[in-house]
Structure formats: structure tokens, C-alpha cells
Amino acid sequence: MMKNLFRTIACIFFLAIGNAQAEVVISDAWVRANAPGQSVGAAYMTLKSPQDSNLFHVESPAAGSVEIHSMSVTNGVMKMRALETLPLQAGKPEKLAPGGFHLMLFDLKKPLKAGEQATFTLSFKDKTGKITHQDVVLPIQEAN
């Protein structure tokens, strides 16, 4: 009986470790406040995955849709492109910030006001095809 109990505890322990390792660490997260009447917004954060994976989908009740974007400036011309996925290398922080990668919010339900919060669900897929979803609440603030 003790042997079965030990096995059960060991299984729970290893499952807990596996689930903890699968979670992407989200830090420095914020949403840019916008002016009334604007129907788009942007969100920023740093993502650090414990394993190679991809951010492939983002949702927010604050917006009709959310897209993963890259932004670059070449010869004085700004280019913004929607990405299907954002690759995350194991242990390497990927910064989403103004002027680079970011989340673009379309068809906002209401203005994004400083001092409020917005909820997002980020969906990740690892190299084995396992999909995980993480909910995060971001503060809305004025641009730094």
C-alpha cells in the first residue's frame, strides 16, 4: 500500500513540475492608452518560454480581434506586418515593445483608459504540438 501511495505522490509531483515548466513567463506587460474614437490599440510585454514554442493566437474581450505584429523602419519607411506566429526560443526573453514586435488590437469595444485593465488569452504551441493557453491581465497606461 505504501508503494502505491509513493507512486501516486511521485506522479503528481512530476505532473506538477511538467505543468510548471510548460508555462511561459510574462513580464513588463502593459497596454497603451488611446484617445476616444480610436478603434485600434497596442499591447506590449516580455515573453520567456522554458522550451521552444510559438505564440500563435491572442484574444481579448476588449477588442474584436488581436494580431501579432512586427514593425521595422527601412530607409525611413515604417513597415508593419501581421505574423502568423511569434517564435520563442527556450530561455530567451522575447520583448514586445513599441517599435518592434507587439500585439495590435482591432475594433476596440471602448477606449483604453489609463488606470484600467485589459484581459488577454495567449495561446502557445510547443515543438511537440502541445497547446497551452494563458490568461493575463494587463494594466492600461500612457506611453512611457
Query: Which residues, other chains included, contact 11 with Cβ-Cβ below 8 Å and sequence gap of 6+?
Result: none
Mean pLDDT of the region 45-70: 97
> Is pLDDT of 6 > 50?
no
pLDDT in tens, 65-109: 999 999 887 888 888 899 999 999 999 999 999 999 999 999 999
| Average pLDDT of the chain, as a whole number | 87
CB atoms under 10 Å from CB of 88, counted, come to: 21
Domains of the chain: 2-141 (2.60.40.1890)
Tell me the pTM. 0.81
φ/ψ of 123, rounded to 5, equals -115, 130
Residue 120 burial (10 A CB sphere; 0-12, 13-18, 19+): buried
> Is pLDDT of 45 > 70?
yes
What sign for the dihedral angle of Cα 56, 118, 142, 94?
negative
Nearest to 88 by CA among 121, 59, 129, 46: 46
Q: What is the pLDDT of residue 55?
A: 98
